Chain A
């Protein structure tokens, strides 16, 4: 009798899932770093659809999406690359490809996954379908064969990737028409300790933030022979830097109109940069060491979160006036923020409240609270269609 009921239940649930067609445009994932799981969420009803477990050490994990918006590729700190099906809410493939990894990217044609590794330092390439390794670019930077940790890996137009060498102070750009024999371009001496990198939304400019000095290294991918340029040189010269209790992310910089909003390192400020001249045009004092600055997709607002001990605060900046117009305390230990693609919702993870909180960025009201285990990164599937995401 019990067996019969079980069979019936399985058949019913199968019929239910098979009968429901759905798209992925309103789906996303939340990294639950302590439990090594992903929460699959949807932004229409603002609910969690399910949980995918068994992803390993997800401290500092990041996610990119296949071009179908259905598959999420998860880069774990323990070197694992996992592929998750959002519709079936299950782990479909997983490889442990290195000892210690920091993030990854997917090529413009959706066929190559690149992973940035600390140990062994370098970038490895994988077939997006099978996760089989198809290429390896060790970050060799010294005559003795030492390998540098790699950071700031992004996809660039033309089946390529760009990344930075943390220990070596270099930027590398690679084209991977043949992943086994990439066409590499090295830019040495870009500055000390590049800690993260990002690319403008049009895929033209690659920027690497420098920890070892005040400044940002810039490569114009439309003019590769021009080499790296330094911008924002010495933005804090003569001032004693404040302690940085969490590395800021350039991955979350904000582009609003012709301006970029970057977290300053060691200062409680956002730097506003005119991206036509690559010159600093303003500094906005904020509540603490900024970690992420994210622009609402219409570019009217920039939202900022902070490092310990200010990580319960989120500030909202009005772009035209460059004024802080709201200081919120939406939850404890706010680690990450993500706007829905049209900007009508802001999702944020409140780690110490074990919750994902959804705010209306217009009224600043809380519109949903979704329980999650120590949530960190939030990644919506709309990223599938954007360069550098």
Chain B
């Protein structure tokens, strides 16, 4: 049920999220720092997983950028994955999700 709801939201939000502009270069650097250091606390510095699941491109295969961005923004209820929407804008989350999927992260 929760998954269906998330999917429905993603379908509605998806195009809006996908159309989000890229964050400026300075913000991109901040986001990569956050990804390595803060996401890395649970998902591993090299994103091979820890208390949280691995986030390498193979692990995200088949998951849409909009869904990944939604998970980043809203968190996963009942797990330690927090909602990052107070810290990240939609475009931040979409940009991070796309980088993760492509493995285009230093």
A118 at the interface (CB under 8 A from B): yes
Take A119-B49, A309-B87 as given contacts and tell me if A77 and B41 are in contact as well, using a CB distance cutoff of 8 Å.
no
Q: Which of A59, A102, A119 has the most CB of B within 10 A?
A: A59
- Interface on chain B toward A: helix, strand, loop, or mixed SS? loop
Residues of chain A at interface, number, CB under 8 A: 27
What are the interface flags for B30-49 relative to A under an 8 Å C-beta threshold, 1 for contact and 0 otherwise? 00001001101110111011
Q: Please, which residues of chain B bring their CB within 8 A of the CB of A211? A: 80
B23 at the interface (CB under 8 A from A): no
What are the interface flags for B45-83 relative to A under an 8 Å C-beta threshold, 1 for contact and 0 otherwise? 110111100000000000000000000000100111011
B38 to A, closest residue via Cβ:
A308
Chain B proximity of A110: nearest CB distance (Å): 28
Chain B proximity of A185: nearest CB distance (Å): 25
Residue pair B80, A244 in contact (C-beta under 8 Å)? yes
Take A193-B80, A212-B78, A333-B37 as given contacts and tell me if A247 and B42 are in contact as well, using a CB distance cutoff of 8 Å.
yes
Chain A proximity of B88: nearest CB distance (Å): 11
Take A59-B41, A77-B44, A308-B38 as given contacts and tell me if A118 and B84 are in contact as well, using a CB distance cutoff of 8 Å.
no
Could you tell me which B residues sit within 8 Å of A by CB distance? 34, 37-38, 40-42, 44-46, 48-51, 75, 78-80, 82-84, 86-87
Residue pair A245, B44 in contact (C-beta under 8 Å)? no
Could you tell me which A residues sit within 8 Å of B by CB distance? 33-34, 57, 59-60, 77-78, 100, 102, 118-119, 149, 151, 166, 193, 195, 211-212, 243-247, 308-309, 333, 351
Inter-chain CA distance A243–B79, complex, in Å, is 11
Chain A proximity of B53: nearest CB distance (Å): 11
Chain B proximity of A286: nearest CB distance (Å): 18
Q: Determine which of B34, B45, B49 lies in contact with A118 in the assembled complex, contact meaning CB atoms within 8 Å.
A: B49
Residue pair A243, B45 in contact (C-beta under 8 Å)? no
Q: Please, which residues of chain A bring their CB within 8 A of the CB of B34? A: 308
Q: Please, which residues of chain A bring their CB within 8 A of the CB of B40? A: 59
Residue pair B38, A245 in contact (C-beta under 8 Å)? yes
Q: Please, which residues of chain A bring their CB within 8 A of the CB of B50? A: 59-60, 77, 100, 102, 118
Can you list 7 A-B pairs, Cβ within 8 angstroms, ordered by A?
A: A59-B46, A77-B44, A102-B50, A118-B49, A195-B80, A246-B38, A246-B41
Chain A proximity of B31: nearest CB distance (Å): 13
Q: Please, which residues of chain B bring their CB within 8 A of the CB of A243? A: 75, 82-84, 86
Inter-chain CA distance A59–B45, complex, in Å, is 6
Q: Please, which residues of chain B bring their CB within 8 A of the CB of A244? A: 80, 82
Q: Please, which residues of chain A bring their CB within 8 A of the CB of B82? A: 243-245
Q: Please, which residues of chain A bring their CB within 8 A of the CB of B84? A: 243, 245
